[in-house]
Structure 1
Amino acid sequence: MSLIHTPMNQCPQRPAGRPRHGISVVEVSLVLVIGAVAVYWVPRVMANMEREKATDAFDFLNSVREAQVDFHAQAGHYAGNLSQLDLDRTAPIHFSIGPVDSTTDAWSLTLTRAGTATDNKYTVIFTEQGFDSRRSSVTGDLIPQELRPRDDISPDLLAGGWAGRPDLHGDSGR
């Protein structure tokens, strides 16, 4: 039987091939740092991704609005189906598209956010006047800055929809 003698100021060496037990302070620290970064950044990244999806919906609906203006100028009424329109954008893949509700003088189209938990679904509605903020359920920073209601505008002026962006409302600027 042999005894390994080690001086008091040295730790005994672990025999080769024998696994270590436990985790080090460095490993625990690394896990904590990664966790903190994830807690901080993941919600921000997810929010940015959702803003991009909402922007796609607004851009598509603006394209529909512009195509409806052209269609109305030629036919004297609004198109009742998206296939009748010459659209320069494809439909956003993260939204379900409702039917076009149209008459001679008015139309509306609703996009509903698809593929999310039920409490995160929202709708974006456009009409011949542009973004309909009263009937849409999209809120907060998902609405493009230029379409958000401003404090200096009376809510009564918004009754027919938000007319904040000229390219959404043609030359009339309603």
Structure 2
Amino acid sequence: MNDRDEELRGLDAVLRELRHARFGLYGPLVRERFLGGLPADVTPTGYRVLRFVEASSPPGPAVSDIAALLLSDRARAVRVVDRLTVAGLVTRVRDTVDRRVRRVELTDAGRRHIELAAARRTRLLGEAVADWPDEDLARLTEFLERLNASVARHLPVSGAPGASEVADVSDVSDGR
């Protein structure tokens, strides 16, 4: 094993901790605190779908795209979209090119929900780095942007809309 391999293993470990550790930035305790400040009608999975619809639009994704995001079957994706529709956060619209396809679009209420979530995420992140100097925060942001761009460029998922979303390490909820 060479030094670069060791560094890459260290990076992977830090990213896993950030994403999954109990006290990690995107771990279950912080995710619970994040979601606790948002309207009760959206589950972590629903929030993940809202973020995906926002990132995919226009046009919005088809239910099959949402199923692929959730690594589930179409029936589960339909149930999630149905709950979001009843909550007034998304709507289904016919595709303008292929009328057989129904796309999922954010409603105004869905957009407001996403904005509220973004503001809450920013506040929580601000608390986590409150004692950091501005220069360190700027460097971290620059490095994460480079990482996202590199992952999107070198490791795209074939057939997935917006492969760069795969690399996004800024989402608080992974829907689990």
TM-score, normalized by length of structure 1? 0.31
Please say which structure displays the higher CA radius of gyration.
1
Higher helix share: 2
Larger fraction in strand: 1
TM-score calculated relative to the size of structure 2: 0.31
Which structure has more RCO (C-alpha within 8 Å, separation ≥ 6)? 2
